[in-house]
Amino acid sequence: MALARAAPILAPTWPFWCVSGIRDYIYQTVATSNGTQYTLSLWAQNLSASGGDVLTVTWNSAVLYNQAAPTGWNLLSFNVVGTGSDTVEIGSFDGPDYHLVDDVSLDIVPEPASLVALGIGALALIRRRRA
């Protein structure tokens, strides 16, 4: 079963408050289709006055992002491949300040053949309206 559009996989804004040297994280295992390409995206903000906090995003333990998020809200987006059951982990390390994370989502990347079919359908509709 293909995942057409995932609801946000981690709901509302999550703050990460880290005690220096201790890692804080959230994770969720999601059902995916094996071999299907997805876009994992989230909004992140670093509220650290010192800029020392490190935000980490992993997909099945593979590190996608491992640095301080810029100040202000920023969209982070990653291309990943589903294996059937995948774990997304978002964490922060080296406080004492924190990051905010919001609107984490996982979307299927359309296949080129699907895009061609949509384009042909749109052209057919335009042509039909003109006739």
pLDDT class for 21, splitting at 50, 70, 90? low
Decide which of 15 and 41 is more confident.
Answer: 41
Give the CATH number for residue 70.
2.60.120.260
Over residues 37-42, mean pLDDT: 94
Q: Which residues constitute the domain of residue 63?
A: 14-130
Does residue 5 belong to any structural domain of this protein?
no
Is there a domain that residue 9 lies in? no
Average pLDDT over residues 103-109: 90
What's the CA gap between 32 and 13, in Å, rounded? 24
If one counts the domains in the chain, the total is 1
| Cα–Cα dist 99/72, whole Å | 10
Q: In this predicted model, what pLDDT tens digit does every residue of 53-90 receive, in sequence order?
A: 788 999 999 999 998 777 888 999 999 999 999 999 98
The answer to whether residue 109 is domain-embedded is yes
Q: Two tokens at 93?
A: 């390390």
Domain-located, residue 34: yes
Whether 103 is in a domain gets the answer yes
Smallest Cα–Cα separation from 63: which of 34, 96, 87, 82?
A: 87
Average confidence (pLDDT) over 30-53: 85
For residue 3, being part of any structural domain is answered with: no
Select the highest-mean-pLDDT range: 10-19, 45-54, 96-105: 96-105
Residue 41 covered by a domain: yes
Cα–Cα distance, 61 to 82 (Å, whole number): 13
1 occurs within a structural domain: no
Min mean pLDDT across 23-32, 42-51, 82-91, 107-116 is at: 107-116
